[in-house]
Amino acid sequence: MIKLIAGLPEHVIGFELSGKVSAEDYEKVLMPAVDAATAGGQKIGLLYHITPEFEKYEFEAMWDDAKVGFRHLASWKKIAVVTDVDWIRWSVKSFGFAMPGQVRVFDQAGLAAAREWLAE
């Protein structure tokens, strides 16, 4: 499941991922929110909080994640990924260099620090 995070600064959009994340979650929640936030052409911050309740991505969801990233490649100012899931932390650290803007990984205890970093 993907839920939009409320209460973030205007230039930051955030999502909370938990349980099983499906392509439908991306198509109904994440993609429309990202499209709306980037419609004016401004660079935005992205908070991607993968909660301890996260179980897995469906294959189609991982594909949708890649499509969103590439479709909005020039839109990202900062990306903060908050997770304790080792394979996701490793993936972001390994491939984050390919994303424009700054990419940082935070553990669950660093959620507040991630929000502060994005708000700067």
Please report, for the chain, the start and end positions of each structural domain, with discontinuous segments joined by +. Answer: 2-119
Looking at the domain 2-119, which fold is it?
Transcription Regulator spoIIAA (3.30.750)
Q: Following DSSP, what letter does each residue of 31-93 receive, concatenated?
A: HHHHHHHTTT---EEEEEEEEEEEEEE-HHHHHHHHHHHHHTGGGEEEEEEE---HHHHHHHH
How confident is the model at residue 91, as a pLDDT?
86
CA 26 centroid distance within chain: 11
Specify the amino acid at residue 27: E
Token pair, residue 68, equals 């969103």
- Is residue 30 predicted with pLDDT exceeding 80? yes
Distance CA 100, CA 75 (A): 8
Distance CA 22, CA 80 (A): 21
Distance CA 89, CA 96 (A): 10
pLDDT for 66-111, tens place per residue? Answer: 666 666 567 789 999 999 999 889 988 887 777 778 999 999 999 9
| Best CA proximity match to 54, nearest among 87, 27, 12 | 87
How confident is the model at residue 108, as a pLDDT?
97
3-state class (DSSP) for residue 94: helix
